[in-house]
């Protein structure tokens, strides 16, 4: 029912990176720098989404391994 601890840590790490890159994009002095930080934020958002999918798959796998309780 619960995701792997490593997956959870990686998701949180990607969330922090995404937030940091978005903040850097807003503070960037030039348009090129802002775009680079925005692209990095988009990449980390994508990775975080993939980790969320992995966490869901881990939860589903754990549920499937659990014996069903039939009345």
What per-residue confidence (pLDDT) applies to 7? 87
**For residue 8, what is the enclosing H or E element?**
helix 5-27
What per-residue confidence (pLDDT) applies to 70? 58
Task: Check whether 1 has a pLDDT greater than 60.
Answer: no
Instruction: Give pLDDT tens digits for 9-50.
Output: 999 999 999 999 999 999 999 999 999 999 999 999 999 999
Q: Is 52 left (phi over 0), alpha (psi -120 to 50) or beta?
A: alpha
Q: How many structural domains does the chain have?
A: 1
The boundaries of the domain holding residue 47 are 5-65
Q: Is residue 32 part of a domain?
A: yes
Q: Is residue 34 part of a domain?
A: yes
Does the global pTM surpass 0.95? Answer: no
Q: Is residue 71 part of a domain?
A: no
Q: Is residue 70 part of a domain?
A: no
């Amino acid at each position: 029912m619960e995701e792997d601890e490593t997956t959870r840590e990686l998701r949180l790490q990607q969330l922090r990176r995404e937030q940091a890159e978005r903040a850097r994009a807003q503070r960037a002095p030039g348009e090129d720098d802002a775009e680079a930080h925005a692209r990095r934020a988009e990449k980390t958002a994508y990775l975080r989404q993939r980790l969320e999918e992995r966490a869901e798959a881990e939860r589903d796998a754990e549920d499937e391994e659990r014996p069903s309780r039939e009345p």
